[in-house]
């Protein structure tokens, strides 16, 4: 058996290697800008990530990371406070207060939706609205409390905004005014160890209501 070495003509030239390296670099940059940055960090300079739904994925990941950090800090503070404070018999025998329910007139509502959240589960409900439209809303959490983020996204220019955030909340109500054309609504996360049911009631100026997660 004979071993033959490749001829110089069979090997890629320096120019070919340089061209392949440049092409690979360009492809890597395009993937970074259009896929990695939107899906991981909600950074979307081209707008392609928003069209593909990757930017919203990055926003949710950011929200989850913020929630995890806040929950860890809150748990650490609670442990430290419990270690410092004496436990009284009256406090230990008291039953937990029931979640407050907003006083609302149910006859005013246009839509009502219930969302069940298992421990650790998140859900999102959005209203399709144009800039300046207003929608009345009220939601309650039965079975526990939730973290929430009232926000909007999906505008023609890739806009996104957060209207209000809360942690360990049992209910919320108010008026949601759209800052731009797009989808506006709520993201809830159940951080408790029990199932929680969100009841959302809405009325006002919006084209439709839908659960998107």
Residue 31 has a pLDDT of: 86
Entry pTM: 0.54
Token pair belonging to 101: 């329910």
* pLDDT tier at 100, thresholds 50, 70, 90: very low
Residue 82 has a pLDDT of: 46
Q: Is the pLDDT of residue 2 over 70?
A: no
Residue 49 has a pLDDT of: 73
Token pair belonging to 144: 């526990």
Cα–Cα distance between 55 and 122 in angstroms, integer? 17
What single-letter DSSP state applies at residue 106?
G
Which CA distances in Å does 61 have to 36, 39, 57, 58, 212?
13, 8, 6, 5, 16
Cα–Cα distance between 26 and 48 in angstroms, integer? 17
Q: Residues 99, 101, 134, 123: what is their CA dihedral angle, to the nearest 10 degrees?
A: 40
Enclosing H/E stretch for 171: strand 171-177
Residue 197 has a pLDDT of: 96
Cα–Cα distance between 201 and 111 in angstroms, integer? 6
Q: Is the pLDDT of residue 11 over 90?
A: no
Residue 108 has a pLDDT of: 83
* pLDDT tier at 47, thresholds 50, 70, 90: confident
Q: For domain 105-213, which architecture applies?
A: Sandwich (2.60)
* C-alpha atoms less than 13 angstroms from C-alpha of 181 in its C-beta half-sphere: 2
Residue 134 has a pLDDT of: 96
Residue 132 has a pLDDT of: 94
* pLDDT tier at 84, thresholds 50, 70, 90: low
Residue 11, number of CB atoms within 10 A of its CB? 10
Q: Where are the alpha helices (DSSP H) in 45-182?
A: 48-52, 54-84, 89-93
Q: Is residue 146 a contact partner of residue 169, using CB atoms and an 8 Å limit?
A: yes
Cα–Cα distance between 10 and 188 in angstroms, integer? 61
Residue 168 in 3-state DSSP? strand
Cα–Cα distance between 102 and 95 in angstroms, integer? 21
Domain residue ranges of the chain, discontinuous segments joined by +: 12-85, 105-213
Give mean pLDDT, residues 110-127: 94
Tokens 């509502």 belong to residue: 109
Q: How many residues does the chain have?
A: 213
* pLDDT tier at 103, thresholds 50, 70, 90: very low
Residue with the bigger pLDDT between 47 and 209: it is: 209
């Amino acid at each position: 058996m004979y071993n033959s070495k490749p001829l110089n003509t069979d090997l890629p030239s320096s120019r070919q290697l340089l061209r392949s390296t440049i092409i690979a670099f360009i492809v890597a940059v395009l993937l970074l800008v259009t896929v990695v940055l939107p899906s991981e960090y909600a950074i979307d300079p081209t707008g392609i990530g928003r069209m593909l739904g990757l930017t919203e994925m990055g926003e949710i990941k950011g929200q989850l990371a913020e929630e995890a950090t806040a929950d860890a800090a809150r748990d650490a503070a609670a442990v430290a406070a419990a270690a410092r404070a004496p436990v009284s018999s009256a406090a230990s025998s008291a039953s937990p207060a029931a979640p407050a329910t907003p006083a609302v007139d149910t006859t005013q509502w246009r839509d009502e939706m219930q969302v069940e959240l298992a421990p650790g589960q998140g859900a999102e409900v959005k209203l399709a609205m144009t800039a300046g439209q207003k929608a009345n809303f009220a939601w309650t959490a039965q079975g526990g409390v939730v973290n929430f983020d009232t926000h909007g996204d999906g505008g023609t220019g890739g806009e996104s905004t957060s209207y209000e955030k809360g942690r360990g909340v049992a209910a919320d109500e108010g008026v949601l005014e759209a800052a731009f054309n797009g989808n506006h609504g709520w993201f809830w996360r159940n951080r408790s160890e029990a199932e929680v049911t969100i009841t959302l009631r809405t009325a006002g100026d919006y084209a439709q209501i839908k659960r998107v997660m």
